[in-house]
Amino acid sequence: MLSEPFTQAQARPELPYTDLAHLPPGVSLPRRIDRLRELAYNFWWSWNDPAQRLFSALDLELWNAVRHNPVKLLRQVRRKQINAVTHDKRYLEIYDRVMADFDGYINPAATWFSTAHLDFTSAPGSIAYFSTEFGLHESLPIYAGGLGMLSGDHSKGASDLGLPFVGVGFLYEQGYFRQRISEDGWQEALYDRTDLADLPVLLVREPAGKALLIPVEIAGRTVFVRVWKAQVGRIPVYLMDSNLEQNSPADRELTGRLYSSDADVRVSQEIVLGIGGVRLLRALRLEPQVWHMNEGHSAFLVLERLREKVAAGESLESAQASVCASTVFTTHTPVPAGNETFPIWLMDKYFSGYWDALGLDRDRFIDLARLDQSWGPAFSMPILALRNSGHRNAVSELHGEVSRKMWQFLWPDVPAEDVPIGSITNGVHAATWLARRMKSLFTHYLGPNWPEALDDPALWEKVRDIPDEELWEVRRHLKRKMLAFFRDRAREMWMRHVHPVQVLAAGALLDNNALTIGFARRFATYKRAGLLLRDSDRLMRLVHRPGQPVQFVFAGKAHPADEPGKLLIQQLYRNIKRAEWGGRLVFIEDYDASIARFMVQGVDVWLNTPRRPQEASGTSGQKAAINGVLNLSVLDGWWREGYNGENGWAIGEEIDYDNPDQQDAHDAEALYSLLENEVVPLYYDRDRDSGDVPLQWLRKIKESIRSLAPAFSARRMVKEYTELMYAPVVNGNGGRSNNHR
């Protein structure tokens, strides 16, 4: 049985803390600029360009080499370079302005939350947000893909709006894997162990200075985790790490990597996340009013909260009602493989005796999350979450419809349309993903305070006032910047003695003037990365179209255990290596947040081809849209809501085929037709009297920005979570939380 909860009032009369007094060696600065240390440990810098320039100006080459990690930069930069900037008047002016902006952000006179009159306490940590990954920045590689990026943007949005929010997750020392593509096109997974002293996170300590340790019982043994704090603007994200001498060698590796394919490791990780995460918040003396589970990986927190209440004398029925009323659950995938289940024998191994603490026998415990499958019963994490959450949501309107049908069997007496799963469509944190030149353009034509009104559609009507020539020049600049970055990476591959054909496949021949279409995402089979290659002869004619060339940039990883996904990458890569393409199809290996920023800012068109309706939402196309990139996508996820007929292109219709091959054939034909007859001709339709500017293309870009920027922003999204999910929990309002935009 898992150990008893902390009695913090008796064990720790003083609260744990983090500060800058216990920094690793090497982070020492002149007094004039010593607040760079403070800035380095707050991810606010990651979405503020002037703050980033303070670090890059110390040593640009080193800044790029350390993957834009300010802590690692400060530990490695030469002292004479630091001293030099203290005599640079321009640098010091920027430094003073940045620190003033930083102080104003951290200690504002008011925030949206403080003025929204939601009858909501502002006590720190009132909203606890659990996620197995957080995509805050590439300098903290604890994310794998869309779920992590969404968690990071949600946290940044919560900070901007002033929510009393706290995140809970893991500090993976090896993170997600680095991707290398072999000469034959096979994905190889490489893992690097991170020196935690290099990361922009601070160790949480007890008042005496020792690391705060959280004990969790797992299969009869005690595993200890220490806690690190990533400060994200105004809010903390607490990250757990099991690599401690007190633990066995196997348990020290427990939080080493994301998404292990070993079931024992997965269930152990999720015990730490859910049960250990609750104990972490108790140790920090935080009393959340809202417990938000971002996907089912953290659903064991329900069990720990039930156990606490039963141990305090409540009946199980009363405890379930209380836990349910204060819990929010967001489901992220309609794909069965993405909804995690554990075999019953594994639950027996890890939870034997735990049910006694809940006043249950084994069968009733399993019934909390039983899912009967063809091979027998299993314990379903989404079912545990759905049954014990008072407010549940999908991440787009279509995903909400799919989820209500998918989980209707949990409410057998309720029609599918009335199943209590609402929808709040994902949005993106504009300041993180928006190119600096686009920010400047918006500031000039929308006004300096546009970020505070980002979700106001009326503001974006002013986009029409941006002169076509200025917008086109920014778009050309961003493409040149992206392609230069890719060519530099290809040059580095050449210097590593990679096969010349692989250097060409990495983008060495990319053309600054060609229409550039990007496809970057996780290589799961349902995302259909190979749809474009279904008719290679037709595609060949398209990329070599006389006077109207087209080039395609692919990027993305398959899970190391996803053999079909890796095979898809190999098939694509083998095609890309063919000389007939002339370098117009490329694959950028080791996709991460940095590459993503270049792509969503630099391509002309963002291509998305999921097999409808399996894309829950998607956000990469939203990031592209705010940068003036046009979407060419299947009507799935967020694009089904975003497309208005004038702001991009829709592949196919709102039809769900029972036969996947039939759907693929239909969508491929629609894709080729759109490219040949609409996308390519429109891009190359230039007005010579206006300096060879594609006026109709730019008209479409302006409509895309106008219609999509406010509707798919993290600011809008987090406001909706607050108003539709968090506030009703605090105010005790039950019922269905649906969002009909």
Residue 734 confidence (pLDDT) above 70 = no
CATH code: domain of residue 553: 3.40.50.2000
Q: Do 212 and 283 meet the contact criterion of CB atoms below 8 Å apart? A: yes
Higher pLDDT, 333 or 35: 35
pLDDT tens digits for 86-103?
A: 999 999 999 999 999 999
Give phi and psi for 306, each to the nearest 5.
Answer: -60, -45
pLDDT tens digits for 619-634?
A: 999 999 999 999 999 9
Q: Do 585 and 543 meet the contact criterion of CB atoms below 8 Å apart? A: yes
| Inside any domain, residue 608 | yes
The pLDDT value recorded for residue 459 is: 97
The pLDDT value recorded for residue 733 is: 63
Point out the least confidently predicted range of 20-24, 263-267, 341-345, 700-704.
20-24
CA distance 85 to 98: 15
The pLDDT value recorded for residue 339 is: 83
- Write out the two tokens for 159: 């900070």
Report angle CA 298, 304, 308 to the nearest 5 degrees: 155
| Inside any domain, residue 601 | yes
CA distance 380 to 363: 14
Q: Which among 465, 472, 323, 441 has a CA at the least distance from the CA of 389?
A: 323
pLDDT tens digits for 68-88?
A: 999 999 999 999 999 999 999
CA distance 291 to 481: 42
Q: Which among 182, 60, 144 has a CA at the least distance from the CA of 493?
A: 182
pLDDT tens digits for 361-373?
A: 999 999 999 998 8
Q: Do 127 and 292 meet the contact criterion of CB atoms below 8 Å apart? A: yes
The pLDDT value recorded for residue 337 is: 66
Q: Do 711 and 642 meet the contact criterion of CB atoms below 8 Å apart? A: yes
Q: What is the arithmetic mean of pLDDT over 20-38?
A: 82
pLDDT tens digits for 525-539?
A: 899 999 999 999 999
pLDDT band at 12 (very low <50, low <70, confident <90, very high): very low
Residue 8 confidence (pLDDT) above 90 = no
The pLDDT value recorded for residue 720 is: 97
% of residues, the chain, pLDDT over 90: 86
Residue 417 confidence (pLDDT) above 50 = yes
pLDDT tens digits for 269-285?
A: 999 999 999 999 999 99
CA distance 311 to 283: 17
Q: What is the arithmetic mean of pLDDT over 413-438?
A: 97
Residue 737 confidence (pLDDT) above 60 = no
Domain finish residue from 76, 106, 136: 106
SS (H, E, C) 72-127: HHHHHCCHHHHHHHCCCHHHHHHHHHHHHHHHHHHCCCCCHHHHCCCCCCCCCCCE
Q: Which helix (H) or strand (E) holds 717?
A: helix 714-721
Q: Which domain holds residue 73?
A: 8-106
CA distance 665 to 383: 35
CA distance 737 to 98: 40
The pLDDT value recorded for residue 261 is: 86
Neighbours of 678 (CB within 10 A): 12
pLDDT band at 738 (very low <50, low <70, confident <90, very high): very low
The pLDDT value recorded for residue 641 is: 97
- What count of residues does the chain have? 741
Q: What is the arithmetic mean of pLDDT over 253-279?
A: 95
Q: Which among 65, 93, 94 has a CA at the least distance from the CA of 77?
A: 65
| Inside any domain, residue 431 | no
Residue 227 confidence (pLDDT) above 70 = yes
The residue type of 424 is: I
Residue 557 confidence (pLDDT) above 70 = yes
The residue type of 62 is: L
- Write out the two tokens for 244: 């401690």
pLDDT band at 732 (very low <50, low <70, confident <90, very high): confident
| Inside any domain, residue 190 | no
- Write out the two tokens for 475: 């778009």
DSSP string, 676-687: IIIIHHHHT--B
| Inside any domain, residue 332 | no
The pLDDT value recorded for residue 53 is: 97
SS3 state at 507:
helix
| Inside any domain, residue 679 | yes
The pLDDT value recorded for residue 739 is: 41
Domain finish residue from 82, 106, 130: 106
pLDDT band at 658 (very low <50, low <70, confident <90, very high): confident
Domain finish residue from 89, 106, 123: 106
| Inside any domain, residue 498 | yes
State how many domains the chain has. 2
CA distance 65 to 416: 52
| Inside any domain, residue 143 | no
Q: What is the arithmetic mean of pLDDT over 470-498?
A: 95
Residue 13 confidence (pLDDT) above 60 = no
Q: Which helix (H) or strand (E) holds 605?
A: strand 605-608
Query: Cβ-count burial of 609 within 10 angstroms (0-12 exposed, 13-18 middle, 19+ buried)?
Result: buried
- Write out the two tokens for 623: 């990031």
Q: What is the arithmetic mean of pLDDT over 551-561?
A: 95
Report how far Cα 556 is from the mean position of its chain's Cα atoms: 14
pLDDT tens digits for 562-605?
A: 999 999 999 999 999 999 999 999 999 999 999 999 999 999 99
The residue type of 166 is: V
Q: Do 729 and 721 meet the contact criterion of CB atoms below 8 Å apart? A: no
pLDDT band at 6 (very low <50, low <70, confident <90, very high): very low
Q: Which helix (H) or strand (E) holds 300?
A: helix 300-311
Q: What is the arithmetic mean of pLDDT over 537-562?
A: 94
Q: In the predicted model, what is the mean pLDDT of the chain?
A: 93
The pLDDT value recorded for residue 89 is: 97
